[in-house]
Structure 1
């Protein structure tokens, strides 16, 4: 049996990525949110779930550098690290970090580019 990535419950998640949005599921019973998708709430096992667009802001929890900083030159779009970001809505997502790598604990914004989650320091901070 093959898995169809575009079938429910995952379709809104992958459609969102294709459209440049990060979609997260929220339980209508307890309010817990998460990503990527599942068929029932991870907290209370409820099955009445709603899709919402994430604000794409969160806190950088950890990073793993991908090489010596000098190797990237001055390319602001180079993926310099991978990391984990706890979204303000609650879920933790894996990201690529482009540009200068912010310190752990920093607020970052996430962009969805070509289906990938790219984190960087917010422009307004």
Structure 2
């Protein structure tokens, strides 16, 4: 329960940038605070999963680990983007920053070398 309190405190701090002047704005601010808290929680979970997967897939090779880590890194950028959209008014600037971050996230070198092959087994028809 202490962890949830940590996320709520961070979300309240982020939401305090805008002061509501009416009931609707106060409701919107509360929803943004809850969303921000949830996204911070998910961001923390992604980091924990990444650490655990790093240890778990060690025996299966670097390729699997690299693919999973790249996917989680991409997800981290996306969650950072969602948090910043809830925390700042300048949405266009954060969208542009996210686009540049996501375009910088590169695929592993071996990604294009992976070939997926399927073999057909069974009877083949011979023409007359």
TM range (shorter): under 0.3
TM-score (norm 2): 0.21
Q: Which is higher, the Rg of structure 1 or of structure 2?
A: 2
* More helix per residue: 2
